[in-house]
Structure 1
C-alpha cells in the first residue's frame, strides 16, 4: 500500500482499493477547475469537495489540480486522464440508465403456442402492427401439442394462447403464471347450407341424430369443439379447427366452432379458390 492506495504486483492500482464515488467529483473539478463552482454543480459543500480532492490526490498519487490565483490548473496526469474519465463515466451512466424497449429496433423472434384459429384471428392485425411498429420482429406460431409449463418457464415459448379448459390443470397448472383475457368468442353450430335435415329449428335431439366432427389438439387435451350432451360419438376428430368448416361444407356432419366470422371468411375463401359461388354453410346458435 502506498499513500493509502492498494497496488497490484505490477505496481498498478487495484479496483477494490479505489473509491469510485470520487470520480464524478474529479470530473466536475477538471471541468470547472474551481472547487466552489464544482461544489455548486454537484450540489455539495465546498468543504466536502475539497476533502474529496484531497482523497483523490492520495488515490492517484498526483496533485491533479494546482491552485494558481483564483483558478486551479490541471497537472499533466489530470489532462491525460480527463477525456478517459469523461468516456468512462458517460458509459457507466448509460449502463445504469433504464433501458426503454423500442419495438422498431427489436429483431427478436417471439414464439406463440396456440391453435390455428387463434393464429387466423390475430394474424391480420399482427401483420399490420408489425409492419408499422416492429418491422424487424418475427412472430412464430407453433403447435400447442403437449404444452408444458416448463416450455414457458424455460423460454422455449413466450406465450400460450388457448381457450380456458382445453388443457387439464394436471397437465398445465396456471398457478403463478401471468394471464389475461385476449378475446371472447361464442360457440355456434355449423352445417352445410343445403343440409337435408336442417329445415327447421335446431334442437338437441336433432343434433344427436346427425354425424359430427370435433377438434382435439392432441392426446393430452380435452375434446374441444365436441357438442355437449351428445350420446353419439364424433365420427371424425381433427387436430386443426380450420378443417371443421371445410369438412362440414362437404358432408352432412355438423360441428361446433368459435371465432365464427374468421372461420366463415376462411371457408368462403376456400370455396372461391375451388371455383364455387354458393354460400357454403349455415350458422346457428347452440340450442339451450
Structure 2
C-alpha cells in the first residue's frame, strides 16, 4: 500500500487544473504558477499514485482511466475541505472566484449578458468561464465538478442534480424590416415562399429531430430551427420548404437575414435583441409551438457550496428579469 501521509493538497489542486484544462500551459496560467512548477507537481503525484496520469496527444494532455477516477473523487473532496476551513458565507463584492458555466451561445448572448451587467457592481472581481453545452457530456462534467452549473433545455434529470427553472421562451420567425412577409397576413404559404436559415448546432442528433439525447440518465435537447416539424406542416398543404443556408451557430443568423430574403425560426429573446441592433422584425408562427423551458442544473453536493448557491440565485434573478429593451414590439 502506498504512503499517502503528508500528501501536499496543492498537488491535488494542480492535478484538477491540468485535468480541466487538458494542458500544463493553461493550468499554469489559471493557478498563476510556472509551467515548471506544474510539471514538478505532476511528477510527484505520479510517484505517489503509481500511474502516468496524463498522456500527451495532438490536442493536449489526455487523462488515463486512473486520472479520471481521481478527478471524480478529488473535486468534491476539495470543495468539502474548502467549506470546512473557510468562512461559511460567500462575499461576492470581494471574491475573486472563477465560475465555470456550460450553456449555449443563445443563452450567453441573452440571459448571461443581463447577468454580467448586474455582476459588474455586485461581484466585480469574479471571473466566468463559459463552455459549450453542445461539446461535452454534461453529466460527467457536473459529476467531476469541472462545471458549476449547466443551463439549457433538459428532460429527465438524475436525482443527484438540482434542476431549477430559469425562464420560458418561445420561437418566432425573424426577418429583415421591409421583407415582403414582414407585413400583412403571415401563413404557411409565406414560409414556403422564402428560403430558410436552418440551425443545426450538433450532429449528435439529426437535423430537426427535436428529440432528447441521453447522457448518463440526463436528457438534454438541442435548440434548433426544428425543420422537420415545419416540413410536415408544409407537406400537408402540398407546399415545399426551401433552405438557403444551414449554420452551426445561432448567433450568426441575424446578420445573415439582415441583407437577404431568408427567414429564420429563432427564440424570441434573441430575436428582440437582434431587432434592436440590425433593424429586423419577427412574426409569430402560423401554427402552434411548444415553449422552450430553460433550466439550470447543478450537483447537489458541489452546488451546496456558498459560492455556487450565490451563483444559482443570481442566475435565477437574471432569468426572471429580462432587460427593459427586450420588450420591443413590432
Pairwise TM-score range, normalised by the shorter structure:
0.5 to 0.7
Question: In structure 2, what is the Cα distance between the partners aligned to 1:191 and 1:96?
Answer: 55
The 3 A distance-change label for structure 1 pair 233 and 163 is farther
Partner of 1:107: 96
- Kindly report which structure 2 residues correspond to 1:3-42, keeping only aligned pairs within 5 A, or say none: none
Superposed displacement of residue 198, structure 1 = 5.1
The 3 A distance-change label for structure 1 pair 96 and 138 is closer
- Kindly report which structure 2 residues correspond to 1:250-265, keeping only aligned pairs within 5 A, or say none: 250-260=259-269, 262-265=270-273
Bigger relative CO (Cα 8 Å, ≥ 6 apart): 2
SS in 2 for 1:132: helix
- 2:153 is aligned with 1:163: yes
Superposed displacement of residue 205, structure 1 = 3.1
SS in 2 for 1:250: coil
Tell me if structure 2 keeps the 8 A contact 1:117–1:259.
no
Superposed displacement of residue 257, structure 1 = 0.9
Partner of 2:282: 283
Question: In structure 2, what is the Cα distance between the partners aligned to 1:111 and 1:233?
Answer: 39
Select the structure that is richer in strand: 2
Partner of residue 140 from structure 2, selected from 111, 133, 150: 150
The 3 A distance-change label for structure 1 pair 137 and 256 is same
Across the aligned residues of Structure 1 and Structure 2, the Cα RMSD in angstroms comes to: 2.8
Partner of 1:208: 192
Partner of residue 249 from structure 1, selected from 251, 254, 258: 258
How many residues align? The count is 178
Runs (4 or more) in structure 1 with deviation over 6 Å come to: 95-98
Tell me if structure 1 keeps the 8 A contact 2:169–2:267.
yes
Q: Which runs of 5+ in 1 are unaligned?
A: 1-94, 166-172, 272-279
Superposed displacement of residue 110, structure 1 = 1.0
Question: In structure 2, what is the Cα distance between the partners aligned to 1:164 and 1:257?
Answer: 18
Superposed displacement of residue 150, structure 1 = 0.3
TM-score (norm 1): 0.54
Superposed displacement of residue 212, structure 1 = 0.5
TM-score (norm 2): 0.48
For residues 73-111 of structure 1, the C-alpha deviation after alignment (integer angstroms, 9 at most, x for no partner) is xxxxxxxxxxxxxxxxxxxxxx68972222233322111
The 3 A distance-change label for structure 1 pair 184 and 208 is same
Question: In structure 1, what is the Cα distance between the partners aligned to 2:85 and 2:173?
Answer: 57
